[in-house]
Chains A and B, each alone.
Chain A
Amino acid sequence: MANNTRSLFFLLITLTLVSLPPYHEFAFDFFKLVQQWPPTFCKLHRCPRPIIKTFTIHGLWPDNYTTFLDSCTGNSFHMFKNTAFVQNLTVRWPNLDYYSNNRRFWSHEWEKHGTCSENLYPQEAYFNLTMQLYDRLNLLEVFAKSNISPGASGNQLLSRLNNSLVAYTGKIPDFKCRPGPSTTTLIIEVVTCYNSSGTAIDCPVSQLSNSCKTQSLTGISSFETHYPTQGLQMSR
């Protein structure tokens, strides 16, 4: 009889544990808001036309000062029912790749990154926070204040962009690049960092990307626009 009670006791414990919400083993220290530049992305992937000419959201990546976080245990993505919400997301966080779609993109971002901050931000709150942080930082406007516009290129471009962003936010950002034609370097993403409440902080210096450090002699970075530049009056 005592054995049966003990077994029952253990069974009850197990059932209780199983019915609890998922346990989050990874604590995240800060967020990385990753914005992407579609003209560069679309040189590397196939994108339906027309190509968007503003920065769009790639994702909000919770991270750690010591280890890289991803694919944390958490709830699966469920598609949003509110059409207004979906509309807002579509404008700011569109899928760019011909071979994918919005739902698949958001689902991938949630399961790879959103789950790592789910203890503080369940799915809807996570996507909401991302949109808020994105709306607070219009990169093209910030760069325009320093007279940098799409199509710009040159040896100093990266430091100009960096200085421009630091001047605006007061915090250290990160830039990501990909090789471009003729040993140029194309800017593809801009990263800004925030604490878990959404306040802007420096991106950790030890984790800054190396992809923009050009190895070529010319060192030309380029903030490319998509070719051809349709409708632009170019004088000969």
Chain B
Amino acid sequence: MASGNFPEDVVREILLMLPVKSLLRCKSACKSWYTLITKPSFKSAHFNSNATLKRSHCILVKRVLPEHVPPTESVLSFFNDKINGDDHVPPTEIIIPHFNHFLQMVGPCNGIVCLTDHRDIFLCNPSIRDFKVLPAPSFNYPHGLFSRTLGVGFGFDTHSSEYKVIRIAELYEDDDGDYMFHSVNVEIYDLSTDSWREIYAIVPYVWYFPSSELLFNGHFHWWADDEDHGGESMLSFHISTEIFQQIRLPDVCAFPDGNERAFLVLNESIALLLFNPSQQTYLDLWLMTEYGIADSWTKQFTIGPLVQIEQPLLFWKHELLLEKFNGQLVSYNLKSQALKEFQMYGAQESLRAVAYSESLVSIKGGSDIN
């Protein structure tokens, strides 16, 4: 290799500009490049570099292929930057075996997504096809108590530089076939130790819906009961300090009010969408203009009517990606108000989408997807 003619810092600058795919090949080119590329400092510099940010920001869509009944695998598809461009160019796809229909996709964080059906939890970096099955928590609950997962979260602790997965679970008694609530438990998985620990926190009952689990601003969020005031709230968990807070939802939220909810991100604020999936779906958009301040929820506008919308998926630049009843991916342009249909389908309710940037970060203890 001719790298002997270039100072190492020049080589490094050049490599920092390359996409992940090329870097994976460069790793095998020679020993000095291998050493350079596998350094954690290089990986993180690469992820944050301007070249990466400009090029690799794309949409990652998870779905189960509609013809698979019963479903046995999920497909992750990368949409490139310009979704107004060609539909007939097939997006890059990765098939993930063993996963099922109900997989939730949360994150991403430094290129890693967390996939879970609340029974099993997986971490995956689709850029380098790395994935890991988390060990099941193995706590000895008091005799006679069962646990059920209410919510799962995932994020990166910037202080300790480690990845964490959070599991909120209810403990209950099954007393002769009769359910009796006992308590809500919080358990945290540290990737660095590959193990779970319990933390003692008083948290309200958490309830799941697709897109209720949201990573934003160094916090993870779930939909929870507002036990002090009645009504609904977002339960927020600070990944680094592991402190919980509650942020009330606007008073218009009064379950059961016939509406579904979705937590998304728009223009660097948390967005709440209230919508009624039907022949004519309207979506009311609220923004939390100041993070953490319940009084800052402001209604922006109403989208619709749109025909047969199942759920909103993701705000992407000026578009809102949605899933229709028939499992088709569509997008609504917030400026032109035009609805665009993609030739991409999933089994009903199986679609998820996140804004994604590729990375080289490997999951410690993870393995290649074959």
Contact = CB atoms under 8 A, between A and B. Distances in A.
Interface of A is mostly: loop
Interface string B12-45: 0000000000000000000000000000000000
B256 A153 contact: yes
A52 to B, nearest CB: 16
A98 B101 contact: yes
A183 interface: yes
B279 A99 contact: no
Contacts of B70: 48
B209 A227 contact: yes
A224 B258 CA distance: 10
A35 interface: no
Interface in B336-370: 347-349
Interface residues of B, number: 42
Contacts of A153: 256
A220 B319 CA distance: 38
Contacts of A181: 207, 223, 225, 232, 255-256
A203 to B, nearest CB: 12
A228 B260 contact: yes
Contacts of A34: 177
A117 interface: no
Interface in A163-201: 176-184
Interface in B83-104: 100-102
A49 B181 CA distance: 28
A230 B260 CA distance: 12
Nearest to B229: A217
A71 B15 CA distance: 66
- What 5 pairs between A and B have smallest CB-CB spacing? A228-B277, A182-B255, A181-B207, A68-B176, A234-B278
Interface of B: 70, 100-102, 117-119, 148, 176-181, 205, 207, 209, 223, 225-227, 230-232, 254-256, 258, 260, 276-280, 282, 305, 310-311, 325, 347-349
5 contacts: A44-B148, A98-B102, A182-B255, A228-B311, A234-B276
Given A210-B178, A236-B282, 10 more contacts: A46-B100, A49-B349, A182-B232, A182-B256, A227-B209, A228-B278, A229-B278, A230-B310, A234-B258, A234-B280
Interface of A: 34, 44, 46, 48-49, 61, 68, 98-99, 153, 176-184, 209-211, 216-218, 220, 222, 224, 227-234, 236
